[in-house]
Chain A
Amino acid sequence: MRRILTLSLLMVALVGLAGAQGTVGNQADAENEKDVLKVERQKDQALRNRDIAALERIYADDLAFVNGRGQVITKTQHLEEIRAGNVKYLSSDRSDFHVHVYGSTAVLTGRENSTVEYHGKTIASPRQFMTVYVKLDGQWKYVAHQVTPVAEK
């Protein structure tokens, strides 16, 4: 009986130690990618519909946002631009889309070919973008975004 108890405890000890080695990133990267893409689609829909409430929920409060002119704007400034109708997403078209997952961080990159109206000016030229999501308190939050016009060759 004592031998069985000793062996059982030994097994628990070994399982516990083995578990401690693999506890980084409890959710598989594939599952995280799927969850992030769902939030990304919600965000894109919210931008097209100028749904400030949804964007308020998805954007992190300390969002780092750099527009195509190299200007750094805050979450409040970006939402105000959308609310005021200074930014309108007229179509949605992306290519070369990649998602890199690092545990509870996802970096999305791609080519934005959509047409945007920015302060009355129509922008249709391609832009290379990077978006960063981080899982905070169980929710994927959009923490950073930068977009660069692609220079003509």
Chain B
Amino acid sequence: MRRILSLSLLAVAFLGLARAQGTARSQTDAEIEEEVLKVEHEKDQAMQNGDVATLDRIYADKLIFVNPRGQVLSKAQRLADVKPGNLDYVNFKRSDYTLHVYGNTVVLTGLSSSLVHYHGQLIRTPRQFMQVYVKENGQWRMVSHHANFVSEK
């Protein structure tokens, strides 16, 4: 009985040490891209619907949001900004997505051609954007967003 208990504890000890080495199955880049794009689409839908609850879940608490005017918004400011009346999409168009995967970090770039009313002003000029997602506690969170107006050539 004592021998069985000793062997069992030895097994548990080795299991604990093995987990400490990080033996969890690693994902492929393609799987990670799929996960992040799913969250990105949820976020896009939430922006169009003014769904602050979903955005609150996806945006990291220390989100850094830089709009095409070079203004820096905190998470709270950005959530206030997406309410209907402040940000209203006439249509939603995004293209040229590129994802760079680095384990638990993904840098996503793309072009937004959406027609949008922002604080009463109609924005037609395309915007090049870059977002950073980080996986925290098993969930992908958007930690930063940065956008530029694309200058005419």
A positions within 8 Å CB-CB of B: 2, 5-6, 9-10, 12-20, 23, 62, 64, 66, 68-72, 96, 98, 100, 102-105, 107, 109, 126-128, 130, 132, 134, 136, 143-144, 146-151
A69 and B64 alpha carbons, distance in the complex (Å)? 21
Which of A64, A143, A144, A150 neighbours the largest number of chain B CB atoms within 10 Å of its CB? A144
- Of all A-B residue pairs in the complex, the 5 with the closest CB atoms, nearest first, are A16-B16, A150-B70, A70-B150, A20-B19, A9-B9
A and B contact pairs by CB, cutoff 8 A, 5 listed = A66-B109, A71-B128, A107-B64, A130-B64, A150-B70
Chain B: number of interface residues, binned into ranges: 35 or more
Q: Which of A5, A10, A107 contacts B144 (CB 8 A)?
A: A107
> Contact at B144–A17, with CB atoms within 8 Å?
no
Smallest distance from the beta carbon of B58 to chain A beta carbons, Å? Answer: 15
B16 and A15 contacting across the interface, CB-CB below 8 Å:
yes
Residue contact A13 to B134, C-beta cutoff 8 Å: no
Closest A-chain residue to B130, C-beta based? A146
CB–CB A109/B64 < 8 A: yes
Q: What B residues does A147 contact at CB under 8 A?
A: 148
Chain A residues within 8 Å of B15, by CB: 13, 16-17
Q: Does A134 lie within 8 Å of B148, measured CB to CB?
A: no
Q: In the complex the two chains form, is A105's CB within 8 Å of B102's CB?
A: yes
Q: Is the CB of B70 within 8 A of A16?
A: no
**CB proximity of A26 to chain B, nearest CB, Å:** 10
Chain A residues with CB under 8 A of B143: 100, 102, 107
Report the separation of the CA atoms of residues A18 and B17 in the bound assembly, to the nearest whole angstrom.
9
Contacts of A62 in B (CB 8 A): 100
What are the residues of chain A within 8 A of B10 when measuring CB–CB? 9
Determine whether the beta carbon of A16 is less than 8 Å from that of B127. no
Nearest CB of chain A from residue B112's CB, rounded to whole Å: 11
B78 smallest CB distance to A (angstroms) = 14
Residues of A within 8 A of B128 (CB): 66, 70-72, 146
Contact B147 A148 (CB under 8 A): yes
A98 and B62 CA atoms in complex are apart in Å by 11
